[in-house]
A and B are shown apart, each in its own frame.
Chain A
Amino acid sequence: MQLFGLPWSTLLPLFGGMAVATAILYVLKLRRRSVPVPFAQIWDKVLRDRESSQLFSQLKRWLSFLLQLVLLAALILALGDPRRGEQASSGKNVVVLLDASLSMQATDVAPTRLEAAKAAAKRFVRGLGSDDRAVVVQMDMLPSALSTLTGEPSELESAIDRVRAVDTAADLGRALAFAEDTLQGLPNPEVVLLSDGALTLPNSAPRFPVRRIPVGVSDVNVAITEFTARRYPLDKSRVEVFLEVTNTNDTPAEVELTLLGDGNVIDRSRLQLAASERLPRFFTDISGANRRLEARIQLRGKRDALPADDRGYALMPERRRARVLVVSKGNTYLEAALLLDEYLDVTYIEPASYTPTAGRFDVVIFDNVAFALPSDASSALYLNPPAEGAPVKLGKAIEGFGFDRWNKKHPVLRFLALGDVQVARGHAFSPEKTDEVIGESDAGPILVSGSRAGHSFLTLGFDPRDSDFVLRPAWPLFILGAIDTFVAEETGYLSSYRTGTAFRIPAPSGAETAELTTPRGNTVTVPIKEGRASYFGDQAGYYRLRVSGADPSEHEFAANLADAEESRIKPRAELDIAGKKTSIAVAGTPGVRRRLWAYLLLAVVVVSCVEWWTYHRRVTV
């Protein structure tokens, strides 16, 4: 006999205490109620007849007390979950992988594939043997265990009920790795996979037997597999949209595509897709969308089995006029570049009339001068700053140089061709350690970004007019890109994130956490590190990030699945994992559990019923 529940060291004191309590209650029960009678002598004759059976009555009382102690002992022993020694290691250990990916939201099996899989999983766990143990794992991009490794069907069923659908693909490789870690060293390991087979398959074969319970019957589905949008840099009222529609069927399909801007229909068209075709579409000069952009497709003539991937979401950066202060004695090239963006509110002043309290500006451009920033200004662009007032210490004077290396991934320099810029004269910088050199010649850094006293800056080490930089298309893009970067309106703005990945959302670097509201309305707290809030997104739709504290802000973003493989919902008849075939699992028949504690409890119930009956029939009293 081996205990798998409470140990003897706990059970024995527990039994002792409960036995004492039972004895006290028994004695209290024996206290008789006083009742008056009109003539006690009448009872004497009756009682004389009973005196002969008094001894038997006493014996029955003791038997009753002993019976209660036996009941107590059985109950306490049941807490210990006793089993025979050989039963301890003979059961199977099963990891139940329940696919919760987007394809499991298909409605070809009523109500959904996921619900059908959950029902099948419940049938499976009910059919587990008394010595089998299982753990329920939700399988999507990241596997997550929803129960402990237990043989208790009710706990497993409760865990199955907690599985929820997500808008991501499912990574079988990660799930199998998790299962292998869980089953490491346990006897009779086994993995049971409940899935439609629309999975990201691993390259290595599993070490444990994998059995499968297939789900799903239909493959009729069309999906939006790409959806991005951006504003035109020079006309931010208009939007360019890239969209890809995929027909995952083996037959042609006709799809109606609807674009909505801020909830209003702004475009509707019909697309003809060949069998298994991925059809990319650009929509240019779209107007009418200020913030939210949504695409919807509807399959014509057939029933789409997976409506969840028929929508795409995008969010445009917020449009607002950037206030720019230019401190210059006059620079035609600079003024020309600033004229290209109608969303700039530019103020020009002479250096002589500049004061640090000039007003609230987003960006200050110092042209061949360098002063202290206005207190309300957030950032500054220095063009050929003098030694006094420059944010970065000037190095040696250099001549006849150009951009020999530059950071092509920096938001300001992205998409710029600077390799053939020729500069007559200028200065190299001696940046501090915290500064970032984003452009340099062989003679030293000539373009540096950084931050001073909470104000970000960008400084160029030469006068643009002493170069051919101002004659190139890169010049206005550099100026506008710098301003956009300062006002946090990146040219590389992401109109939507991809579900099943870690979102890294820009957030004020001063805060440590933020509140994120998901498309389903749940609010979670996410950490902020290095100016980015991190969250593993598994739902498509619009999110809202709210940062409170000294620098409160609110930010919206969108997320889409956009995974053509996940949208291929055709159930797989056979599933080979790295060449290893999987077999079909058959749910067992729910049977009587062979655990001893169950029989102990059953015995307690039966004996209690007998005792109750005999007590009220006055047999044992």
Chain B
Amino acid sequence: MNLLDRLRRPAPHKPSQKSLDLFDDEFQRKLEMLAIVSRRVFTGRMRAERRSKKKGSGVEFADHRDYVPGDDFRYVDWNVYQRFGRLLVRLYEEEEDLSIYFLIDASASMAFGDGRKFDQARRLCAALAYVGLANLDRVTIAAVSDQVVSRMPTTRGKGRIFKAFQFLSELKPGGHTNLGEALNTFVAQHKRRGLAVLISDLYDPQGFEHGINELRFNKFEPYVLNVFDPRDAQPQLKGDLRLYDCESGEEREVTVTDALLRKMEQALLEYRQGIEHFCTSRQVPYFSAQVDTPFEEVVLDLFRRGGFLR
């Protein structure tokens, strides 16, 4: 491809810089009623509202163990001693916080067209982050493409939601998609395991499986939110064209016909079905979030019915 052809290519879409005033107060109150469901129990760092593996000073009775010198006499179960003549200490469940990682795809394909995918991804991320922060979970947001582009430091408490908003609004999509590489770096940087919510279109030339497997194999609990724009499947193209990948610049010479567009739509459908099949067969929760679907509906209805939120 010569320079002239490159110059003739349309400029990539720049996402809007308007602030992410994503939801109103009422929607925010609804979000406060929700919580992200974790099917596994992770070790927390601070006392919070999540059940942990630790036995400690919570209110829920967990077990007994033999008294050893030095134990606090207040926890000796005197009823058991009276009946069985054994000194046993009552154990209670410890409640800790949960680490939730939001991995938002910031590659160029997310900004394709008018950037609706990236905007939708940012809204979803913001809403879920608010849910996590409201439940005193430890929320981390990282933008990934073929690397970890940027990262919002771990934070907790819903008062920090504006920090998350600012981080998301300042994100600029670009670069190639290589989720395997990027998430490999991510897991190396984050030793504390937890939920990893991957928000992406999963247009990964190296294969979307690598990224998800990186999370699985490193004992994160991955959730996949596949952001999808129907116009990717039904492009308004006709005639003799030279198609080029918006990330890699790879070219394909195509004569686009109605039949070809139908095949293209079918191929994209199969690709998404392949992602879903991969996730469900590995017990990775998978959600498809179309950009045309109202954002509130995705959060309040789709995610709840899918067991992602409760």
Interface residues of A (CB under 8 A from B): 30, 32-47, 49-50, 57, 618, 621
List 20 contacting pairs A-B, 8 Å CB cutoff, sorted by A.
A32-B240, A34-B8, A34-B244, A35-B237, A35-B241, A38-B203, A38-B229, A39-B203, A39-B232, A39-B245, A40-B248, A43-B254, A44-B252, A45-B267, A46-B260, A46-B264, A618-B239, A618-B257, A618-B258, A621-B240
- B10 at interface, CB cutoff 8 A: yes
A242 to B260, CA, bound (A): 96
Q: Is the CB of A47 within 8 A of B255?
A: no
Q: Is the CB of B112 within 8 A of A47?
A: no
| B112-154 interface code vs A (CB 8 A; 1 in, 0 out) | 1100000000000000000000000000000000000000000
A45 to B258, CA, bound (A): 16
Interfacial residues of chain B within 233-255, with CB under 8 A of chain A in the complex? 235, 237, 239-246, 248, 250-255
Across the A-B interface, give the 10 residue pairs with the lowest CB-CB distance, nearest first.
A40-B245, A39-B203, A38-B112, A618-B257, A32-B242, A36-B246, A38-B109, A46-B263, A34-B242, A40-B250
Q: Give chain A residues whose Cβ lies under 8 Å from the Cβ of B112.
A: 36-38
A157 to B263, CA, bound (A): 59
Q: Give chain B residues whose Cβ lies under 8 Å from the Cβ of A618.
A: 239, 255, 257-258
Q: Is the CB of A37 within 8 A of B240?
A: no
A49 to B240, CA, bound (A): 17
A49 to B262, CA, bound (A): 13
Query: Whose C-beta in chain B lies nearest to the C-beta of A36?
Result: B246
A41 to B252, CA, bound (A): 9
Partner of A33, one of B239, B245, B252: B239
Q: Give chain A residues whose Cβ lies under 8 Å from the Cβ of B255.
A: 57, 618, 621
| B255-291 interface code vs A (CB 8 A; 1 in, 0 out) | 1011010011001100100000000000000000000
- B94 at interface, CB cutoff 8 A: no
Q: Give chain B residues whose Cβ lies under 8 Å from the Cβ of A30.
A: 240
A42 with B267: in contact, given A34-B9, A35-B243, A36-B9 (CB under 8 Å)? Answer: yes
A40 with B240: in contact, given A50-B260, A618-B257, A618-B258 (CB under 8 Å)? Answer: no
Query: Whose C-beta in chain A lies nearest to the C-beta of B112?
Result: A38
Least Cβ–Cβ distance between B301 and chain A, in angstroms: 27
Q: Give chain B residues whose Cβ lies under 8 Å from the Cβ of A36.
A: 9-10, 12, 112, 243-246
Q: Is the CB of A33 within 8 A of B267?
A: no
Partner of B241, one of A34, A38, A46, A49: A34
Query: Whose C-beta in chain A lies nearest to the C-beta of B229?
Result: A38
Least Cβ–Cβ distance between A300 and chain B, in angstroms: 80
A43 with B242: in contact, given A36-B10, A38-B113, A38-B201 (CB under 8 Å)? Answer: no
A35 to B241, CA, bound (A): 7
Partner of A38, one of B10, B242, B246, B263: B246
Q: Is the CB of A39 within 8 A of B109?
A: yes
Q: Give chain B residues whose Cβ lies under 8 Å from the Cβ of A34.
A: 1, 5, 8-9, 241-244, 251
A575 to B257, CA, bound (A): 73
Query: Whose C-beta in chain A lies nearest to the C-beta of B255?
Result: A621
A41 to B229, CA, bound (A): 17
Query: Whose C-beta in chain A lies nearest to the C-beta of B252?
Result: A43
- Prevailing SS type, chain A contact patch: helix
Least Cβ–Cβ distance between B297 and chain A, in angstroms: 24
Least Cβ–Cβ distance between B173 and chain A, in angstroms: 12
- B205 at interface, CB cutoff 8 A: yes
Least Cβ–Cβ distance between A33 and chain B, in angstroms: 5
A35 with B242: in contact, given A47-B252, A57-B255, A621-B255 (CB under 8 Å)? Answer: yes
A252 to B66, CA, bound (A): 158
Q: Is the CB of A33 within 8 A of B242?
A: yes
Q: Is the CB of A33 within 8 A of B241?
A: yes
Query: Whose C-beta in chain A lies nearest to the C-beta of B248?
Result: A40
Q: Give chain B residues whose Cβ lies under 8 Å from the Cβ of A40.
A: 243-245, 248, 250-252
Query: Whose C-beta in chain B lies nearest to the C-beta of A41?
Result: B205
Query: Whose C-beta in chain A lies nearest to the C-beta of B7?
Result: A34
A44 to B243, CA, bound (A): 11
Extra contacts, 18 of them, besides A36-B10, A41-B245, A42-B267 (Cβ < 8 A), are A32-B240, A34-B1, A34-B241, A35-B237, A36-B112, A36-B243, A38-B203, A38-B246, A39-B203, A40-B245, A40-B250, A40-B251, A42-B268, A43-B252, A44-B252, A46-B264, A49-B263, A621-B240
Q: Is the CB of A32 within 8 A of B244?
A: no
Least Cβ–Cβ distance between B283 and chain A, in angstroms: 26
Query: Whose C-beta in chain A lies nearest to the C-beta of B11?
Result: A36
Q: Give chain A residues whose Cβ lies under 8 Å from the Cβ of B267.
A: 42-43, 45-46
Least Cβ–Cβ distance between B273 and chain A, in angstroms: 13
A38 to B112, CA, bound (A): 6
Interfacial residues of chain B within 88-109, with CB under 8 A of chain A in the complex? 109
Q: Give chain B residues whose Cβ lies under 8 Å from the Cβ of A47.
A: 252, 254
A35 to B9, CA, bound (A): 7
Counting chain B CB atoms within 10 Å of each CB, which of A37, A38, A43, A46 scores highest?
A: A38
A47 to B237, CA, bound (A): 15
A45 to B265, CA, bound (A): 11
A177 to B245, CA, bound (A): 83
Query: Whose C-beta in chain B lies nearest to the C-beta of A621?
Result: B255
Q: Give chain B residues whose Cβ lies under 8 Å from the Cβ of A57.
A: 255
Least Cβ–Cβ distance between A49 and chain B, in angstroms: 7
Q: Give chain A residues whose Cβ lies under 8 Å from the Cβ of B240.
A: 30, 32-33, 621
A208 to B242, CA, bound (A): 72
Query: Whose C-beta in chain A lies nearest to the C-beta of B12?
Result: A36
Least Cβ–Cβ distance between B83 and chain A, in angstroms: 69
Q: Is the CB of B243 within 8 A of A43?
A: yes
Query: Whose C-beta in chain A lies nearest to the C-beta of B238?
Result: A618
Q: Give chain B residues whose Cβ lies under 8 Å from the Cβ of A39.
A: 109, 201, 203, 205, 232, 245
Q: Give chain A residues whose Cβ lies under 8 Å from the Cβ of B8.
A: 34
Q: Is the CB of A38 within 8 A of B232?
A: yes
Query: Whose C-beta in chain B lies nearest to the C-beta of A45?
Result: B267
Query: Whose C-beta in chain A lies nearest to the C-beta of B235?
Result: A37
Query: Whose C-beta in chain B lies nearest to the C-beta of A39?
Result: B203
Q: Is the CB of B239 within 8 A of A621?
A: yes
A47 to B245, CA, bound (A): 15
Least Cβ–Cβ distance between A429 and chain B, in angstroms: 100
Least Cβ–Cβ distance between B47 and chain A, in angstroms: 45
Query: Whose C-beta in chain B lies nearest to the C-beta of A50?
Result: B260
Partner of A37, one of B239, B245, B260, B271: B245
Least Cβ–Cβ distance between B115 and chain A, in angstroms: 11
